[in-house]
Amino acid sequence: MTSNWLLENMAMQSITHTSDDTIDRIGANKIAARAVSLRRFIEAISHRR
């Protein structure tokens, strides 16, 4: 964990539950990357022995 992350988390919190929580605050590429890595993680734990 980094102190940057804590600051970023506070910035995130400041828009949640408000009309500022809009699509332009989202990095679609980040979501796609997370989904791809989750799939790889699931595949990895599915085939461990």
Partner 1 sequence: MTLHEHTSDRRNLEWVNAALKRLTVDIHDRCVGSENNQAATTGFETQLEDNGWSTETRRFYAVDRQGGDARLEARDGTAFEVRASPYSPGCTATGRLKAVSTIEGLEKADAVGALLLLHGDVAREPLMPKNFPFFAVEDHQRIIAGLEGSGAAAIITTTAPGSVTAGGAYPAPMIEDGDFNMPSVYMTQKEGECLLRFNGRQLTLNSNCRRIQSKAANIVGRINEGAAKRIVIAAHIDAKKDVPGALDNGTGVATLLLLSSLLTDYAGDFCIELVALNGEDRYAVPGQLARVTANRGGFDTVALNINIDGVGYIDGDTAYSFFNLPDDMKELASARLLGTPGTVEGIQWPQGDHSSLFNQDVQPSP
**Footprint of partner 1 (CB under 8 A):** 1-2, 4-5, 8-9, 11-48
Q: Is the dihedral of CA 7, 13, 19, 21 positive or negative?
A: positive
Rounded to the nearest whole angstrom, what is the least distance from the CB of residue 49 to partner 1 in the complex?
10
Rounded to the nearest whole angstrom, what is the least distance from the CB of residue 3 to partner 1 in the complex?
11
What's the Cα-to-Cα distance from 19 to each of 3, 6, 34, 35, rounded to whole Å? 27, 22, 25, 26
Rounded to the nearest whole angstrom, what is the least distance from the CB of residue 24 to partner 1 in the complex?
8
